[in-house]
Amino acid sequence: MSENTPMPSLPVVRLRPKADARALRHGFPWVYGDELVTDRRTKALAPGTLALLEDSERRPMGVVAVNTHSKLIARMLDRDPEAVVDRDWLAARLRRALHLRERLFDAPFYRLVHAEADGLPGVVIDRFGTAAVIQPNAAWADVVIEDLATAVQEVTGVDTIVINGTGRARTLEGLDEVTRLHTGALEGPIRVPMNGATYMADLLGGQKTGLFYDQRPNHAFAAGLAQGARVLDVFSHVGGFGLASLAGGAQAALCVDGSAAALELAEAGAGAMGLSDRFATRKGDAFATMEALAGEGAHFDVVICDPPAFAPSRKALDAGLRAYERVARLAAPLVAPGGFLGLCSCSHAADLTKFRNASARGIGRGGRRGQLLHTGYAGPDHPMLPQLAESGYLKALFFRLDG
């Protein structure tokens, strides 16, 4: 930094001497509450305030967003201490993210921004053709939401934007929950083509942003197993694996979910594909429904279970692993001899080894043995920041079970 270049007029926050400054310099994006000097001046900063981060020896490290109400007290936005985080800065990050997605996909249906991995900490943006859903999961994103929404429109050309401010991440940030139509109009669910299937995404009333793009490659793998098969999709949401399997040539697909609204969207997707006659739904608790299906003597050639995050934090890990084991134990007996079982986890606290072990235990306790054929992850529109394990949260295990 030149001596003639003035420092940005930002408040200064400083690392404690024992903080891991090296990790931050090497790309780790978060500063935890016990790593920052929290004097009266720092505590007075409004959530989402931009600040200049210094190490314990007062050397500039970059521009951060501060939220003293969060355990993640600071998020690194730019390692250039002179960076100006404005609409142009946001647009530059968005253009970089868009360039990647346009190289990966031939249609504008994808995750446009995957938070820290795309240089916009705590921000998730999913694109649905001419519409986009922004999840501002960090306080700084709430502060700049108008500039962010404008930049999204300018960079992508979308005409409709939904702000989805709900979920656990916002609660941990001390933020209110709200979902609203920011720009444009929505006349109902949006048709989303993916892996040859048609999904219906409710951008205002659906879960998360309305659709889970992260499972795209795992849907495709399951569809490859489904030719002529009877498929059971448990925790199906809007029919993720079930509809992909029908597109792959499945004989029939049954989707199980606790949400009637999600199952209605799944049925609409099957109808849009012209495959309603091979598609069925069953509303109910997933565990109870699997037990009931076993009692009915039901068997399927392919069974996929994609539950919610049972272990969203380290504190919930043990209980979450028991839940994943139970899923596997109940699902395994439903698989016909020589059939396939897919088990998924979106819990970042349950790493691949722990999840695989829990799944294997459950399969064994369900009276079955199997081969692990394939391990899947999120698609490339959900890039992983190598320094941040939490950004690589999704795991999908596919087993072939014996008789």
3 state SS for 184-238: CCCCCCEEEEECCEEEEECCCCCCCCCCCHHHHHHHHHHHHHCCCCEEEEECCCC
Q: Which fold would CATH assign to domain 87-183?
A: Transcription Regulator spoIIAA (3.30.750)
SS3 348: coil
What is the dihedral angle through the alpha carbons of 39, 387, 118, 62, rounded to the nearest 10 degrees? 40
Angle formed at CA 320 by CA 27 and CA 213, multiple of 5 degrees: 60
> How far is the C-alpha of 7 from the C-alpha of 1, rounded, in Å?
9
Mean pLDDT by 10 residues, the chain (403 residues): 54 96 95 96 96 97 97 97 97 98 98 97 98 97 97 98 92 91 96 98 89 97 98 97 98 98 97 98 98 98 97 93 98 98 95 97 97 97 93 95 85
70-90: per-residue pLDDT in tens? 999 999 999 999 999 999 999
Which of 261, 214, 204, 271 has the alpha carbon at shortest distance from 238? 261
Which of 141, 36, 56, 127 has the alpha carbon at shortest distance from 90? 141
Domain ranges (residues) in the chain = 12-78, 87-183, 196-203+213-401
pLDDT attached to residue 61: 97
Q: How far out from the chain centre does Cα 278 lie?
A: 29
Evaluate whether 163 touches 145 at the Cβ level (below 8 Å): yes
Strand 109-114 to strand 252-257: parallel, antiparallel, or no bridges (unpaired)? Answer: unpaired
CATH code of the domain occupying 12-78:
2.30.130.10
pLDDT attached to residue 8: 52
Neighbours of 389 (CB within 10 A): 12
Angle formed at CA 193 by CA 192 and CA 199, multiple of 5 degrees: 50
Evaluated on CA atoms 7, 8, 13, 19, the torsion sign reads negative
The answer for residues whose C-beta is within 8 angstroms of residue 6's C-beta and 6 or more apart is none
CATH code of the domain occupying 196-203+213-401:
3.40.50.150
The answer for residues whose C-beta is within 8 angstroms of residue 139's C-beta and 6 or more apart is 47, 48, 65, 67, 69, 70, 173, 174, 175
Which of 398, 276, 273, 262 has the alpha carbon at shortest distance from 341? 398
163-218: per-residue pLDDT in tens? 999 888 899 899 999 899 999 999 999 999 999 999 999 999 888 889 999 999 99
Residue 342 identity: G
> How far is the C-alpha of 23 from the C-alpha of 387, rounded, in Å?
8
- DSSP category for residue 367: T
